[in-house]
């Protein structure tokens, strides 16, 4: 593809993507987080970026998160941060990743911020769980995402709940093989429902992270039968009409707010999740070409 064509496509993609992203800078993320707080939600901020292998890039990312947690406290933002293991060394060694995560979590703990560890593709699941359990022994304000599309997750959740782990349940955003993962929407939803029930029967301080009304209604129904400390989590810019309704009904919500210039992989995952977004992209492209 000619470079001016790819620049053009990137510009159109960005026009769609900016609904999900606070902006390029930490300041914009903090503004977005304050807006979420004002609307009754906690904020979970993520610096965009993944699969980092350069030492400098990784150390810059760690410094950025350290500054971010200080700024969260200084700006009196209620919420925390969410980190992808491959941003902080997982693509190099598990030890690098653990050391870097611990630096950030230590600072976050002293700043009273909660830290979530995002779950990436299944090649990292074992090491992410290992790191989580190791750090969770020392830091209790630490949670981890698990993915309903993976066949292994039911067993993982059983084991994690025995450790009292703080879980964010998601459907899973990464392309996985048939061997490891449920592939149809029906199968993934069925497993999400099963895992939600497990959380409501044995979990505490967990997050139901979905935009799916069916899954949200199930959690609401389960919460009436078994009282648990839990929250809904949704991404910035998605289901904005539903968020105030849930808050008004007394539920806690956190909004996941990404920022930074590396917005493309995150945005492509969001686009793939919704055919309507692809259509929107198409119409935006056509519109700007005045066809
Ligand atoms: C807070 C949070 C953190 C996450 N962290 C991770 C992580 O660490 N690892 C990971 O693999 N994945 C993560 N994800 C992404 C997740 O795995 C899914 O890919 C994503 O949430 C889409 O799945 P869904 O549950 O919303 O349901 P889907 O099956 O994608 O959608 C169900 C329904 O929700 C509604 N909906 C969905 N998207 C939109 C939209 N854009 N606009 C309007 N309505 C919409 C529609 O009604 C749709 O039919 C996270 C998601 C959230 C909300």
Taking the centre of ligand 1 as the mean of its atom positions, its distance from the CA of residue 138, in whole angstroms, is: 30
Its pTM stands at: 0.92
224: left (phi over 0), alpha (psi -120 to 50) or beta: alpha
Q: What is the pLDDT of residues 174-221, one digit of tens each?
A: 999 999 999 999 999 999 999 999 999 999 899 999 999 999 999 999
Span 126-147, pLDDT tens digits: 999 999 999 999 999 999 999 9
Which residue range(s) make up the domain with 87? 22-260
Q: Is the CB of 84 under 6 A from ligand 1?
A: no
Whether 274 has a pLDDT exceeding 90, the answer reads no
**Mean pLDDT value of segment 47-74:** 95
Task: Give a yes or no: residue 269 inside a domain.
Answer: no
The two structure tokens encoding residue 95:
């030890």
Cβ distance 196 to 171 under 8 Å?
Answer: no
Residue 272 lies in a domain: no
Asked if 81 and 65 touch (Cβ cutoff 8 Å), the reply is yes
Kindly state if the Cβ of 17 falls inside 6 Å of ligand 1.
no
Query: Domain containing 129 — which CATH number?
Result: 3.20.20.220
Contact in structure between 59 and 93 (CB atoms under 8 Å): no
Q: Which two tokens stand for residue 49?
A: 């970026």
More confident residue, 2 or 38: 38
- 48 three-class SS: coil
Establish if 86 belongs to a structural domain.
yes
Calpha distance 59→220 (Å, rounded): 41
Domain contains 111 = yes
CA pseudo-torsion sign 87, 92, 95, 100: negative
- In a domain, residue 54? The reply is yes
Q: Is 117 in the pocket of ligand 1 (CB under 6 A)?
A: no
Q: Which residue has the higher pLDDT, 10 or 25?
A: 25
Q: Is the pLDDT of residue 8 over 80?
A: no
Pocket test for ligand 1, best of 17, 235, 273 (most atoms within 8 A of CB): 273
Which 3 state secondary structure label does DSSP give 38? helix
Q: Is residue 211 part of a domain?
A: yes
Mean pLDDT of 66-73: 96
Q: How many structural domains comprise the chain?
A: 1
- What pLDDT is stored for residue 154 in this prediction? 98
Ligand 1 centre to CA of 234 (Å) is 8
Beta bridge partners of 117: 83, 144
Given this model, what pLDDT does residue 288 score?
41
Residue 91 φ then ψ, to 5° = -75, -10
Q: Which residue has the tokens 């539920």?
A: 251
Is residue 278 assigned to a domain? no
DSSP of 166-214, one letter per residue?
A: EEEEE---S---TTTB--SHHHHHHHHHHHHHHHHHH--SEEEE---HH
Average predicted confidence (pLDDT) for the chain? 92
- For 18-47, what is the mean pLDDT? 96
CB atoms within 10 A of CB 83: 23
């Amino acid at each position: 593809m000619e470079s001016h064509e790819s620049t053009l496509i990137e510009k159109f993609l960005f026009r769609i993507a900016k609904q999900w992203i606070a902006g390029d800078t930490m300041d914009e993320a903090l503004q977005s987080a304050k807006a979420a707080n004002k609307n009754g939600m906690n904020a979970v901020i993520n610096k965009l970026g993944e699969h980092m292998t350069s030492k400098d890039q990784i150390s810059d990312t760690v410094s950025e998160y350290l500054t971010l947690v200080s700024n969260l406290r200084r700006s009196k933002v209620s919420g925390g941060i969410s980190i992808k293991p491959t941003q902080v060394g997982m693509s190099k060694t598990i030890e690098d990743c653990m050391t870097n995560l611990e630096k950030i979590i230590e600072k976050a703990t002293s700043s009273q911020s909660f830290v979530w560890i995002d779950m990436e593709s299944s090649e990292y699941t074992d090491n992410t769980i290992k790191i989580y359990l190791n750090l969770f022994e020392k830091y209790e304000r630490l949670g981890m995402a698990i993915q309903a599309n993976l066949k292994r997750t039911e067993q993982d959740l059983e084991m994690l709940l025995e450790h009292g782990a703080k879980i964010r349940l998601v459907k899973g955003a990464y392309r996985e093989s048939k061997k490891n993962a449920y592939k149809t929407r029906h199968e993934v939803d069925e497993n999400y429902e099963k895992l939600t029930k497990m959380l409501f029967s044995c979990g505490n301080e967990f997050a139901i992270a979905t935009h799916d009304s069916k899954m949200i209604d199930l959690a609401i129904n389960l919460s009436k039968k078994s009282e648990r400390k839990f929250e809904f989590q949704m991404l910035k810019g998605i289901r904005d009409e539903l968020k105030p309704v849930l808050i008004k009904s007394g539920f806690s919500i956190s909004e996941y707010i990404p920022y930074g210039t590396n917005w493309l992989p995150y945005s492509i995952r969001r686009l793939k999740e919704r055919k309507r977004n692809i259509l929107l992209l198409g119409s935006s492209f056509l519109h700007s070409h005045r066809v």
